[in-house]
Structure 1
Amino acid sequence: MTEPSTVALTAPNHCFVEHYPGLVYKQFDEGLLMPGGRTLHFDLLKPVSPAPTPLVVFVKGGGFRNVHRARYLPALVPFAQTGVTVASVEYRTSNEVRFSSAVDDVRDAIRYLRRHAAALGIDPAAVAIWGNSAGASIASTVGAAPADAEDGVCAVASWYGVHDPAAVSAYQEADSPIRSALGPPGPGPDRWFCPSDHVTADSAPSILVHGTDDTVVDVSQSLALATELDRHGVPHEVVLVKGGVHSFAQMCTRSDALPRTFAFLGAHLRRAALRAEHPPSDAVGTAAPVTGRGCGHPATA
């Protein structure tokens, strides 16, 4: 018989992550069941931890026309292994509603997750949001609310989103997914949004990632948002990926956008958690990376 090998247990070097798919966060709208019994779902990547963990709400893009919320979850597992819960949320698309309702859906998701923080094992004081493409447009709009609001967040990651649609004439064409989501542009309530509509000095710190060769959403869209954030003194980083196109896979595998986004969100989540534990009068020091307090404990069967 071959001699068995023996290995020693070591201290955990990352969190064990569990996946909970298809959880429901919304089935009512304005007090009524949504048409056709519609329900909105989220998928959860949950680090096993005896202590509450920070939360990132991920909003996947899809031209405002489709949402495959589970598609990019594998890329986010390393983030969850650092001790950050990730909730990838569904929202209604332009086949059903206009853009503002999709924003309301994501706000409702954040409120739901906060209300159920104890059951889900998350820290309601440390919540950030991250979106790509159409999801980035939603995430940046949601993230402009004050952090202490029920749907407020402490940080935003916006990857190649549309932020000033009226500045692009092609978006006004009849077959444009932007026009489908926003409706025909017009005056008053039909006017398309722009960064100055929602960015204030209280908006959350943001990291903006955009490829310089993106032909789907021009890099000028992120630069327009950065200009408005700068005007209000909102802390932000702009990461321009030279030669980058409109591709989540490319950003993750051919640039350092993914670890930079992890680091940015992680630092702000840690600061938010520390502020909740220690009011500003006695909080000292700088934020350490999120490492998931108590991660690595074995999961119960």
Structure 2
Amino acid sequence: MRTRRALIGIGAAMLVAAAFLAPAGGARAAERFERLDIPYMDTGNKQHRLDVIAPALEGAPKPILVFVHGGGFRNGSKEGQRPLSRHFADDGIAVVNVEYRLVPEVQHPHQVKDVAAAIAWAKANAASFNGDPDLLFVSGHSAGAHLIALATIDTRHIVEAGLAADAIKGMLPISGFFEFENWGYGEQVRDPVFGGTEGMIDGSPAHHIHAGMPPMLLLHGSDEAGIAGQNKLFERTLTEFGFSDFRRIEFAGKDHAGMRRGLVDADDPVYAAVMAFLSEVRAR
């Protein structure tokens, strides 16, 4: 799947998404299942916690979306993603909203290892929130997009966390970055985030691509400067490698914050694209 090839048209896809994902009448706030601040590692570190925000525990098991916040690797928290999580839960998605350790407390690869551990927790504990462990998707915004892409593509991390290399059904990096050495911002994160050039290259998802990757949806705005370039470059890298099960969508007029806001608006094309991808991959 490429940029010019739609999964389905966005409008039509939303009808498919409604049929496949949304519970009858929608899961409203009083019917949601919520458990906050659950430890996913036995470390006592408050950043090794996650939230589960899901539809009511009834009916068929729901697709799981593990979501990882952004913040330049140094900032951000899962608390800021709770409105987003509730929005998706109301449309039939069981969301696992992840906290992870930040720079300067840790450097690569500890952040991606945290994310991999949270993904493993989600699959292992799916029955507790009526999630379908075979429909395990991962997404994130900005730094979170990078971390879920790295955890998915460089399968060492999820395997070390106890998952099979093919456990993830699909990934949706939003405003992500994939090849740090080919991005101006890379110099700013090379030492504090990755501990040097070797770590930065190891932490770039583009250096770990392989034939067994799951379907991908790359989302970014036209007004995100270097991030738009990163997504176009990654598209080229995937194409040259011979991997075709992906799509890149650029949203005209969207900047970095606008992409994040689009996830909490049911009428926004960013939200529509995410729902379309989840329903299309589930239907395979």
Query: Do both proteins adopt the same fold according to a TM-score greater than 0.5, normalized to the shorter chain?
Result: yes
1:225 aligns with 2:228: no
1:237 equivalent in structure 2: 247
CA distance in 2: counterparts of 1:138 and 1:152, whole angstroms: 16
Q: 2:109 aligns with which of 92, 100, 104?
A: 100
More helix, by proportion: 2
CA distance in 1: counterparts of 2:203 and 2:154, whole angstroms: 15
CA distance in 1: counterparts of 2:165 and 2:206, whole angstroms: 22
Residue 201 of structure 1 aligns to a residue whose secondary structure is coil
Q: 1:258 aligns with which of 251, 271, 279?
A: 271
2:212 equivalent in structure 1: 202
For the 8 Å contact 1:67–1:91, the answer to whether it is kept is no
CA distance in 1: counterparts of 2:260 and 2:201, whole angstroms: 33
CA distance in 2: counterparts of 1:70 and 1:181, whole angstroms: 23
2:70 equivalent in structure 1: 61
Structure 2: which amino acid aligns with 1:156?
M
Structure 2: which amino acid aligns with 1:261?
V
CA distance in 2: counterparts of 1:71 and 1:233, whole angstroms: 34
- Segments of 4+ in structure 1 off by > 3 A? 145-148, 189-196, 248-255
1:142 equivalent in structure 2: 151
Residue 33 of structure 2 aligns to a residue whose secondary structure is strand
1:154 aligns with 2:169: yes
Residue 70 of structure 2 aligns to a residue whose secondary structure is coil
CA distance in 2: counterparts of 1:154 and 1:100, whole angstroms: 23
In the TM superposition, what is the alpha-carbon distance from 1:133 to its structure 2 partner? 0.2
Structure 1: which amino acid aligns with 2:279?
G
Aligned residues: CA RMSD: 2.5
For the 8 Å contact 1:108–1:151, the answer to whether it is kept is no
- 1:20-75 CA distance string (max 9 Å, x none): 211111124xxxxxxxx424111111111243222100011110002311213313
CA distance in 2: counterparts of 1:132 and 1:151, whole angstroms: 22
- 1:164-206 CA distance string (max 9 Å, x none): 111124431xxx24542112325xx564543442211111111
2:39 equivalent in structure 1: 24
For the 8 Å contact 1:210–1:239, the answer to whether it is kept is yes
2:26 equivalent in structure 1: 14
For the 8 Å contact 2:154–2:205, the answer to whether it is kept is no
* Compared CA separation, residues 208 and 101, structure 1 to 2 (3 A): same
Count residues in correspondence.
Answer: 247
* Compared CA separation, residues 261 and 179, structure 1 to 2 (3 A): farther
Q: TM-score under structure 2 normalisation?
A: 0.78
- 1:103-159 CA distance string (max 9 Å, x none): 111111111222222223221111000011000001111222579826731111111
Residue ranges of structure 2 left out of the alignment (5+ in a row): 1-22
Structure 1 residues 161-176: aligned runs within 5 Å: 161-172=176-187, 176=188
2:45 equivalent in structure 1: 38
Larger Rg: 1
In the TM superposition, what is the alpha-carbon distance from 1:267 to its structure 2 partner? 2.6
Structure 2: which amino acid aligns with 1:135?
G
Residue 108 of structure 1 aligns to a residue whose secondary structure is helix
Q: Give aligned-pair identity as a percent.
A: 25
Q: TM-score under structure 1 normalisation?
A: 0.74
1:126 equivalent in structure 2: 135
CA distance in 2: counterparts of 1:191 and 1:237, whole angstroms: 24
Residue ranges of structure 1 left out of the alignment (5+ in a row): 1-10, 29-36, 272-286, 288-301
CA distance in 1: counterparts of 2:125 and 2:193, whole angstroms: 30
